[in-house]
Amino acid sequence: MAEHYVPEDLPTHIQHFINGKFVDSVGGQTFDVLDPVTNKTYATAAAGQKEDINAAVAAAREAFVNGPWPKMKPRERARVLNKIADAVEAQEARLAEMETFDTGLPITQAKGQALRAAENFRFFADLIVAQFDDAMKVPGSQINYVNRKPIGVAGLITPWNTPFMLESWKLAPALATGNTVVLKPAEFTPLSASLWADIFSAAGVPAGVFNLVNGLGEEAGDALVKHPEVPLISFTGETTTGQTIFRNAAENLKGLSMELGGKSPCVVFADADIDAAIDSALFGVFSLNGERCTAGSRILVERPVYDEFLEKYAARAKNIVVGDPHDPKTQVGALVHPEHYKKVMSYVEIGKSEGRLIAGGGRPEGLEEGNYVSPTVFADVKPDARIFQEEIFGPVVAITPFDSDEEALELANGVKYGLAAYIWTQNLTRAHNFSQNVEAGMVWLNSHNVRDLRTPFGGVKSSGLGHEGGYRSIDFYTDQQAVHITLGSVHTPKFGAQAASEIDY
């Protein structure tokens, strides 16, 4: 194996960022941060506890109540957001190599994440300047208008699979709308999140508006969710964690936006462009190392083309380049952490008794260390199999045949998740009817996962609560206050008048 690439000037210790300053945990707690290619510790990070979250929330609350950020004109905030986008683009190469080193994502895929992060800030900068609200008039009687205003301190809890980009997806609308934030990044991947502090400060974000507390979900994340002065929680992550957050947010009736797990179907009908469907179905589950919430990890194929699909799909899967994440030829890198590697490999072993293994099934040859898993394909998987029902979040796919549209829909909807769906057919009527009946928050027809930032993003069933994206993000991060003004004389029943006859109902 070639010598593993290590970016220059890596920090050996990662701190919190609270009220404009880098700080360690009050109690001095730390945790180790691993490189997923060697599983060796390359840094320690401050491990946030309740007292650190309290300090971050106090700074964010002070900045919200007494600071300039919430009161700035939309154009002023937009200028700052565009400066942030400029800085992210200027650091694209550095961000990509740090993200690859921290997550194990292939470098070619990490580069795209930096540019998408910049676009998120530009998009919401444009949106808040163009934002307008409703006014309703009853001639001669009343006018009503909507006063939209920021809510307060937003708690943002982000995952480890594409951390920098997904942090931007929450930070941009939360800040654009005038809120202040406390970000709790995933403990597996704190490296790229540590760059936000300097980017924001240089762009002119006032102290206290952006705060970052590293730490474990059970400690820092739990304290953030339970804090009574954090009215909003936006969370992306695993479903059972989302359920815990839902319970813990109930006491203070917090606003919640949660994008959770997925076990999305990719449905291939016999009339589909099979080669295009195979391209998409391979990319959909093996890009980002299979560590993507919208992965089409259940492929349902109509019987007449089932054998052809299996043969072509398995041959391509075996040909996928697995290797060092920093090598531009690599298509699947190392999984993020040894704990997650063990989970994914346990599902590979389960799958060997639940389906017919036609590709992969273990560690690639020549990669004896690090969290590497060969792209793994199981065929003939029954719908009650664990590898069909449960989210694996790795380069593992289950393929199942079907004989009718009705059976395909039953299989597609036959799991607890409902995040995405991919449909491949040339039949226009079937395409629309199937798309509208599949239980998924997002559907791609004859397409891989490409997104327009104006569209709603979210899932149904166990895949999430609420939607973000475009104006849905603006709605989540603002209160919409209705203001009513009478234009004519006020006609009110005269309760308490001396004579009942004077009361005009």
Residues 348/362, Cβ–Cβ less than 8 Å? yes
Residue with tokens 């004077």: 502
CA end-to-end span of the chain, whole Å?
87
CA distances from 145 to 275, 480, 487 (A): 53, 10, 13
Burial class (CB in 10 A: 0-12, 13-18, 19+), 292: buried
Secondary structure class of 444 (helix, strand, coil) = strand
Yes or no: say if 319 and 350 are a contact pair by the CB < 8 Å rule: no
Helix (H) or strand (E) holding 299: strand 298-302
Q: Residues 239, 423, 346, CA angle at the centre, nearest 5°?
A: 40
Kindly compute the dihedral angle of the four CA atoms of residues 492, 497, 503, 505, in this order, to the nearest 10 degrees: 30
| 218 catalytically annotated | no
Neighbour order of strands in the sheet with 40-46: 13-14, 40-46, 30-35
Helical ranges in 50-209 per DSSP H: 50-66, 74-90, 92-103, 107-130, 163-176, 196-203
317 and 377 in contact (C-beta within 8 Å)?
Answer: yes
Q: Which of 259, 291, 439, 468 is catalytic?
A: 259
Token reading at 89: 């683009």
Q: Which two tokens stand for residue 450?
A: 């490409």
Orientation angle between helical segments 163-176 and 92-103, nearest 10 degrees: 120
- Separation between Cα atoms, residue 256 and residue 249, nearest integer Å: 8
- Active-site residue numbers? 259
